[in-house]
Amino acid sequence: MDKSKLLLEDVPEQLDNNDINRPKWSGFFKVVQPLTQTQLQTDSQSIDGSSLYSNSSWYQFVTYGSAARLNRYKEYDLMDSDCDITRSLDIIAEEMCGNIGKNDLPFVLDMANDSQMPKNSHYVVALTAALKRWCEIQSFSTRMFPTNRKTIKYGDTFYLKKNNLEKWIPLSPKQIIGAVVNKDDVTEVLGWQIHKNLLQAHGSETIGNYQIVGAEQNDADYDLVNADEIVRFSINTELADTAPFGESVLQSVYRTFRQKQLLEDAILIYRLARAPERLLFRIDTRGIQPHNVHRFLDKVKNDMNQKMIPSPNASGGIESTYNPSSMMENFYFPVGEDGKGSSVEVLQGGMNLGELQDLEYFEDKVFRGMRVPLSYIKTKADNPAIFNDGKIGLAYIEETRFSQYIERLQADQDKVYDTEFKKFVAEIGLNIDPSYYSIKLPSPTNFSTYRELELNVELLNAISSADSIRSISKRYAMKKYLNWNEAEIAINEQWKRQELGLKSNDPTAFRKIYDDTAQEDGDIGGGSFRDLDSSFGGNELDLGDTDEQDNILNSNDKGTLNAGSGDQLGSSGAEK
């Protein structure tokens, strides 16, 4: 028989024969079953040893942020608590609303410029009335700004739509658990998984009440809603890694923001802990045994930090109490005949308290990442250098590029508004072809218009100087210094002929248009306008027959210019 088996069979008998007072091994040990390891944080940036970046330092973990969408929403809430980020988001959202008046509609109604479109003014009146009614139902006058702000903050804004005639119900992006997409195209959303408990998930968006909904939910925790029942505003492109969800404008500046935040904390801690002045006490310990030096120093320190006060029970005694203001009082130490003894020296605090160049660098870097011009954020007293050149300087360049950035953000929102408005128009019974009209957000504040005005002033000054030189042709000056092409010159001549009351067959019309003295002297020979040879050489410039010349003005309004049967207008002998 196996010895090991024999020993195991004899164990109960041996235990029974042991003394009853002897402790048993079963009283000290307990068999437990190990539980399955629970992963507390399912994030690629976690530092619990289970992620891809578990070997990275805490600095990388803090500055790079989370890779999970719902965790990023919490980070965006933290960023929104910063005054600079809040102000930047407000500026972008306000510019997206467009430059409109208080009583104006929040949208611009555009009618298609198509020859096949029926010319009926009743369409414009009906669509304007429908647009006004739609804006009243959806409360866009007060809802437009928070919608734009939440869209750029989280990357998405969702509304639950019961039908096309009722007001949309707002949904927080934190309520969206997941999306049902086409297996061949992740950007094509077929449905949304929305948390059922809307009140609990919607709640306050402060950090204290923040709730992260897990990625894995039971069937009883969410509803599957068709994509047609959800109105979604998003900043999403098919090339983005976050598809089908949008990407926040804060994502690109998160690392810079965290660096700025760490630097602000370091400056604050330094000022609180190191900036105050310190007193260095040099205590004379001559004549004291080495083992009593420490006790003597403690006695001196306690005497400095305490003061004597009368006893509160009126017994005439004296008591000592802690004196927190002892550092503000004067100190007196006896010295010997040789002048040596205890002394107190002042240790200066922080010497670079006013040096904030590092903080300003990261602050400006955050603004650049948000695409907000510094002229929108900083006043002239903060940074006067950015205002010293308003013509071709950085102020106009930044503001023009910022306007273009806002227009790109508006383009994504315009598609949603236009689609939903056309559904509303069809629902109320207006039988108008959707291709005949569209709505869009008003244009943002455009500083390129002011730049164009200044450029026109400079061009007019240049042409005025050239006009005083008799050897320079006026037509050449228009083309050289006004940057006009041949079509614009021809249109100007046509309008000038109408203003002077000249007939198209007047042989002196061309001379009277460009020579002021010819208008006073009367008819002066010189050939007709049609017979004018190009001053650049080559073939003659043919503007067509008389009727075609009269149609130049009308053709400009249509965006085309018919030059007749001759050479194409805008070409010259020099170009040929």
Over residues 455-470, the pLDDT tens digits come to: 778 888 888 888 788 7
User: Cα–chain-centroid distance for residue 82?
Assistant: 14
Task: Give pLDDT tens digits for 293-329.
Answer: 888 888 887 777 777 677 666 666 666 666 655 555 5
Looking at residue 385, what is its pLDDT? 45
258 neighbors 63 (Cβ within 8 angstroms): yes
CA distances from 376 to 362, 380, 398, 418 (A): 17, 10, 10, 30
Band (pLDDT 50/70/90 cuts) for residue 186 is confident
pLDDT for residue 558 is more than 80: no
- Positive or negative torsion for Cα 375, 380, 383, 385: positive
Looking at residue 421, what is its pLDDT? 94
**C-alpha atoms less than 13 angstroms from C-alpha of 408 in its C-beta half-sphere:** 12
Q: Which of the pair, 173 or 277, is modelled with greater confidence?
A: 173
Q: What is the mean pLDDT of the chain?
A: 73
Looking at residue 199, what is its pLDDT? 44
Q: Which of the pair, 136 or 240, is modelled with greater confidence?
A: 136
Kindly list the domain boundaries of the chain, sorted by start residue: 292-327, 485-557
76 neighbors 154 (Cβ within 8 angstroms): yes
Which range scores top for mean pLDDT: 96-110, 160-174, 267-281, 510-524?
160-174
Listed in sequence order, the residues at least 6 apart from 108 whose beta carbon sits closer than 8 Å to its beta carbon are 98, 439, 440, 441, 442
Task: Give pLDDT tens digits for 426-444.
Answer: 999 888 888 889 999 988 8
pLDDT for residue 221 is more than 50: yes
pLDDT for residue 337 is more than 60: no
Looking at residue 136, what is its pLDDT? 93
Looking at residue 525, what is its pLDDT? 42
